């Protein structure tokens, strides 16, 4: 590998597309950007994406890679704070029971992770197919690339969102990617609702109704003043619909160094 090749690749691993970019130099500036469609195939959705992931690693020729996983490949559960649970192992055992109750024996083949929270705050458990994680590691190893991290999309966006949360009111994050919307609510500094749903072509028009429905299911308030939407790569028509409906857009493209809307679509990869 050339000493002049980019240092770190950042890849968004999705069911319908894989977004890849590189960061170059000590300033970690944006380097190459590439978008790869994932062909429809039989079997698990991540298997076709894994082949595309290997192509992206060869194209970028980076030494290290960070991966952000689409909601398509992650399941979530909110675990309320409990005084009787001691440490991560007991919370993980509780999470595994909840995933097993919802998904049966399928959950036996998942690897679990927990959000790191202070005492008294609920935690979010994420479950990812173990075979997918193993496949990412194998693909990176075969390409001579060090796999630095694999994180859910929600985890990386939450870092941006949490910086602007003010007060004890209920705050909502509606996190869009093609085909999926993740709905998250936080109240008094604690996550209290996480769910991801399928999204059609008219997702922007449907979003007010989705928010009302989710708020009713969660028993929470859904005042638009406290709702943020993160939708990098959404077209101008969808953005107009969202703004006219009163949603606040979480748009970190300029903060992250993207100079054009085209590059802004790669934010899901950059955040990893």
Q: What is the CATH number of the domain that holds 218?
A: 3.30.420.40
Reply yes or no on whether the pLDDT at 27 is more than 90. Answer: no
Residue that finishes a domain, picked among 119, 153, 187: 153
Residue 261 in domain:
no
- 27 with 113, same domain: the answer is no
Spatial distance between the Cα atoms of 182 and 127, rounded to a whole number of angstroms:
15
**4: confidence class by pLDDT, cuts 50, 70, 90:** very low
**Do 53 and 118 share a domain, yes or no?**
no
Segments forming the whole domain that contains residue 242: 165-249
CA distances from 23 to 57, 60, 70, 93, 201 (A): 13, 10, 21, 38, 32
Domain total in the chain: 3
Same domain for 138 and 122, yes or no, is no
CA-to-CA dists, residue 182 to 96, 138, 174, 262, angstroms: 21, 29, 6, 23
Looking at the structure, do residues 25 and 99 belong to the same domain, yes or no?
no
Looking at the fold, whether 123 and 142 belong to one and the same domain comes out as no
Answer yes or no: do 220 and 233 share one domain. Answer: yes
Q: What is the model's pLDDT at position 3?
A: 38
The yes-or-no verdict on residue 256 having pLDDT over 80 is no
> Which pLDDT does position 109 carry in this prediction?
95
> Given this model, what pLDDT does residue 23 score?
72
The answer on 80 and 65 residing in a single domain is: no
Determine the pLDDT at residue 222. 85
């Amino acid at each position: 590998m050339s000493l002049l090749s980019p240092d770190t690749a950042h890849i968004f691993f999705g069911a319908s597309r894989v977004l890849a970019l590189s960061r170059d130099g000590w300033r970690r500036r944006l380097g190459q950007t590439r978008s790869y469609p994932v062909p429809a195939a039989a079997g698990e959705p991540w298997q076709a994406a894994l082949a595309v992931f290997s192509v992206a690693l060869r194209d970028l020729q980076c030494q290290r890679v960070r991966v952000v996983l689409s909601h398509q490949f992650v399941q979530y559960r909110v675990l309320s704070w409990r005084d009787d649970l001691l440490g991560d192992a007991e919370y993980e055992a509780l999470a595994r029971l909840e995933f097993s109750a919802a998904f049966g024996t399928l959950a036996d083949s998942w690897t679990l992770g927990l959000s790191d929270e202070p005492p008294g705050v609920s935690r979010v458990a994420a479950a990812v197919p173990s075979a997918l994680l193993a496949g990412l590691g194998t693909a990176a190893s075969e390409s001579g690339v060090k796999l630095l991290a694999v994180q859910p999309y929600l985890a990386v966006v939450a870092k941006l969102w949490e910086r602007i949360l003010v007060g004890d009111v209920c705050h909502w994050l509606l996190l869009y990617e093609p085909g999926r919307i993740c709905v998250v609510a936080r109240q008094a500094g604690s996550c209290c609702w996480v769910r991801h749903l399928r999204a059609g072509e008219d997702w922007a028009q449907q979003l007010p109704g989705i928010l009302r429905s989710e708020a009713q299911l969660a028993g929470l308030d859904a005042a638009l003043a406290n709702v943020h939407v993160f939708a990098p790569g959404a077209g101008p028509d969808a953005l107009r619909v969202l703004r006219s409906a009163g949603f606040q857009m979480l748009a970190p493209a300029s903060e992250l160094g993207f100079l054009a809307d085209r590059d802004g679509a790669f934010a899901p990869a950059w955040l990893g």
